[in-house]
Amino acid sequence: MDRTLEEKLSAFRALIQKIKSYEEALGVMYWDLRTGAPRKGVEGRSEVIGVLSTEMFRLTVSEEMNAFLDEFTLPEVYSQLDEINRKIVKESKKEYDRSKKIPPEKYQEYVVLTSQAESVWEQAKQESDFSLFRPYLEKIVKYNQEFIELWGYEGNKYNTLLDMYEPGMTVEKLDLVFGQLKDRTVPLAARIKKAKDKPDSSFLHQHYDKGKQREFSRFILKEMGYDFQAGRLDESVHPFATGLNPGDVRITTNFKPDDISFALFGTIHEGGHALYEQNLSEELRGTILCTGTSMGIHESQSRFWENFIGCSLPFWKRYYAEMQNAFPTQLGNITVEQFYRTVNEAEPSLIRIEADELTYNLHIMIRYEIEKALINDEIRVDELPEVWNAKYTEYLGVTPSRDAEGVLQDVHWSGGSFGYFPSYALGNMYAAQIMHTLRKQMPDLDAMIERGELHPVKEWLTDKIYRFGKLLDPSEIILQVTGEELNPAYLVDHLTRKYSEIYRLD
């Protein structure tokens, strides 16, 4: 007996839910690997991850999935689906077409490799020895090049990887917006370098008790609206957020006893990611749409909360007293204005996640150029330390003295996340554009923040962005929220205004 469309949709959604269940289990395993799993258990755990990932992969390319997609993409059937099911079919079809081209055994090899590589990267970073990580990275790059050939590409090979993290983005578009950003921020950075009135950051680098740092970070997360009944805060070498489902969104940070700003703003950053994942619509739970629409939009939220809220003067006019109470010896004689200027200091640095708001994008451009060159066989993996150091000298005027502060500083390549880094700079641009719109709709925004009224901001973002998950594409989100396509001018204007004031430029 033929099943009705409703029955077929129910079976299709059950298959999607099964795939998401595997994904959630894998998410817990990855989280455990990066938050303290015993080193001797890494190899075994990586094998388990490889097996489960392959089972999930097989489901996404199964005959059952193919049969569903063949039927649901028929015009006469597709037209009968509601908005959510149409998008689920569209995204599942895109994933199926991409995954079907990868042999399952090759996929499993790759998953095991990247699982092992993340732990090797940690060791290599601790020992500041790129040679330990190099063999793994060489294999990861080779796999990505092979996958691109199987997937196919238009124009630059790197476009295929970009599209996985920011649908519709291309090298041509990125070169244009990055060029506009670079042309206007580099001269501003040069003016700041010559400025005579610079903040003194020495008070940030005293001893700050890790326990009190953790307590204050939890306090700020709660003020932002992070739900600890649906999440937790842990430590890891590289801060990250993991959204298993809206009821379980975990974040990590890294507490440095001699730097109060590192964990604080890292926590706010990851908290921005978490707010997105915790406030997805319940209608999307258990589907392929129950996640952020793109990494660029996701990063817009982490950068929005970190830079446009957390690094603002109104924010610290509200919360600085609590921070002084937590650290009276270190901050008792430091005014809120001094603190604000110092945490917004613009100074070229070696470490991306410690970079200021102004020079941060240059870190991303360096990685973007290196990734393009690697994928297109213009440079070799064994040349990376030399290429990396040369670009830092050229772009930022600083040169790494060891691998840990240079080519080994980021975890992304160990997991195979090529094409991801541009999302950070795109996130900055999206965030500035979103804030411009928010200010128009909430003219008293600064006063609200100064009163600690962050809930209306979170609710506005939930209504405009979070609840939609992957239902809308990134271009649709930014157009719907701001009324125009991505425009880097808003970020440049914001940076010019902010840093001209902080450094009292003429």
Supply the residues annotated as catalytic.
270
Q: Which of 80, 65, 67, 24 shows the shortest CA–CA distance to 286?
A: 24
- Pinpoint the alpha helices (H) of 405-488: 422-441, 445-450, 455-464, 474-482
3-state secondary structure of 256: strand
Amino acid (1-letter code) at residue 164: M
C-alpha distance from residue 458 to each of 216, 427, 453, 461, 466 (Å): 20, 17, 10, 5, 9
What are the C-alpha distances in Å from 211 to residues 164, 207, 215, 295, 322? 39, 12, 6, 32, 15
Spatial CB neighbours of 142, under 8 Å, sequence gap ≥ 6: none
The answer to whether 406 touches 128, Cβ cutoff 8 Å, is no
Query: Angle at CA 239, nearest 5°, toward 237 and 241?
Result: 135
Q: Is 279 helix (H, G, I), strand (E, B) or coil?
A: coil
From the list 62, 66, 58, the residue with the least C-alpha distance to 89 is 66
CA distance 316 to 499: 17
Torsion of CA 275, 280, 285, 287, to 10 degrees: -110
Token pair of 140 as six digits? 């990861």
Say how far apart CA 173 and CA 179 lie, in whole Å.
10
Q: Which two tokens stand for residue 14?
A: 């059950």
The residues, any chain, with a CB within 8 Å of residue 361's CB and separated by 6 or more, are 178, 181, 182, 185, 424, 425, 428
Dihedral over Cα of 15, 16, 18, 23: its sign: positive
Burial 113-124 (b: 16+ CB within 10 A, else e): bbbbbbbbbbeb
Parallel, antiparallel or unpaired: strands 241-245 and 248-253: antiparallel
Q: Which residues contact 16 (CB under 8 A, 6 or more apart)?
A: 88, 92, 286, 287, 288
